[in-house]
Amino acid sequence: MAGAHLEPDSQSAQSHRLPHDALPLLSTCSRRRGLLSLLLVAFITSTLFFIKELSMFPEPGSVSATPPFQPGTVTNSHPLNSTVDPVVFSFIMWSEDAAAEGALLVKSILLYGTRPTDIHIICDHTAEQFLRKRVALVQRPSHHVRIWFYKPSWQSMLDRVEREGSIKTDHSAGLPGLMKLFIHEILPPTVKRSIFVDTDALFIADPALLWDVFDTLRPATAIVMASHPDQDSPEWHHASRICSCVMLLDLEKLRSLRLMDSRIYHELDDFPALSPEAFRAKYGLPGGHGHGRYDNVRLGDQGYWWAIVDHRPDIFEPLSYDYEITSCLLDTYLTGLGNELISEEEELRFQIHTKGTPQEGKVILPKLLHFNCLHGTPIYMEWSGWSDPSNSLTARWGAAVSYHVGFKWIWLNKGRPSDPDKTIELFTVSEVVFADELASGTPARR
């Protein structure tokens, strides 16, 4: 019944009732047993956890399946050697305007590069200071970077051209532009290969992809550049059929071939330089009678490179247009930013200026943009056309230019603090001696 108090059976209660003074003792014993049980469970749990943690570490002398990261190594599914060969570049930047463009090129290399990088820059004092100011903002690059500034005097460059005896230029790049023909003589013999890029260009992909092209070349190949056999320009002796704006140069081979002539080589009387025969085959005798300089060569150094590779196709291979998305004559092949879901087959149908070229039937996947022939400005980033949204080049690539110009140098501090070896080192070579002078053993007085 509700509210009733039920009493146990009297006999049963009597048989199980304990003495009053025994109750505290029973309560204390029960609490002790409970505490001991809890301690035992905690001990067993801790022991099992410790054993599990201990099993995660190898015994002394054992090899871990996944080695820890070490500076200078690449940790992926296919480990590389701890020492990775650098990607090597050579540039010419003579003047602050050239350095302004070249700085953006260098920035793009540091932005997209995945390997150590060596950069050799032939420049004047103004260009060196311009570049140093920007590079100084990068203290923790993602990979080790070394930059050399080679500073030949104007007179030394004049002297080298004079010793060659036949070349001159009508191009706006002037005398420094002709130094593209002498990179193998200015850089030391320890630099065996390099990627040359004009300053009015920038990478939008890993430069190591371009460097790896070296591994695909024939053994005799010394020069790689874009080939445009579809171009017809008799006024330039068809020199627009190549572009010396982006080149892979095997400097070691060019040295062994003795690319450019010098009266010093004549005095040595051992073997002739490669270029004189090539120049004569394309342009006749220098000055028309063999005692002057070529006045019928157009496009500056490119006219001379064209004579060389046209005369010696055995040392030349064409470069994929992926690495020369050019705004000059070829309208960047009509490739550009746009439909992110387009297929390679559709993209290929839109491309122009590829028929009859090594690129025919191959989709262009842009990796390097080249903004040449933007007339009216010495610095391509300041071209007035970028502010015109109706301009077709601006529609295709204006956003890319804006992004890279606005990308801050300090954002290149992507290296881990635990990788102190990944730094930027800068060197200046003030006294440049050309290789022909070294061959004579008596460098000319400056």
At 270-289, the pLDDT tens digits run 889 999 999 999 999 998 88
Q: How far apart, in whole angstroms, are the C-alpha atoms of residue 149 and residue 60?
A: 49
Domain that holds residue 178: 87-440
What's the rounded Cα separation, in Å, for the pair 189 and 252? 7
* Domain presence at residue 56: no
Residues of the chain with pLDDT below 70 are 1-82, 442-446
Residue 143: closest CA among 424, 407, 427, 404: 424
For residue 149, the cross-strand partners are: 121, 428
Determine, yes or no, domain membership for 9.
Answer: no
In sequence order, the 6+-apart residues with CB closer than 8 A to the CB of 50 are none
- Position 381 in a domain: yes
Q: Does residue 60 fall inside a structural domain? A: no
pLDDT at 444: 53
Backbone angles phi, psi at 399, to 5 degrees: -65, -35
| 216 inside domain | yes
Number of domains into which the chain is organized: 1
Task: Tell me how far apart the alpha carbons of residues 149 and 381 are, in angstroms, rounded to a whole number.
Answer: 24
Residues 336/340/341/344 CA torsion (nearest 10 deg): 30
Handedness of CA 237, 240, 242, 245 (dihedral sign): positive
Give residue 66's pLDDT. 28
pTM confidence score: 0.80
Q: Which amino acid is at 262?
A: S
> Is residue 30 situated within a structural domain?
no
Give the chain's radius of gyration (CA, Å). 36
Q: How many CA atoms lie within 13 A of 273 on its CB side?
A: 26
| Residue count (the chain) | 446
- 203 token code pair: 């990478």
**Does 248 reside within a domain?**
yes
- The whole-number pLDDT of residue 274 equals 96
Neighbour order of strands in the sheet with 242-250: 316-318, 223-227, 242-250, 193-197, 87-93, 117-123, 145-150, 424-429
CATH number at residue 132: 3.90.550.10
**Calpha distance 199→341 (Å, rounded):** 32
Count CB neighbours of 264 within 10 A: 18
CB neighbour class for 366 (10 Å; exposed up to 12, middle 13-18, buried from 19): buried
Assess if residue 71 is contained within a domain: no
Sequential DSSP letters for 199-255: SSEEESS-THHHHGGGGGS-TT--EEEEE-TT---GGGTTGGGEEEEEEEEEHHHHH
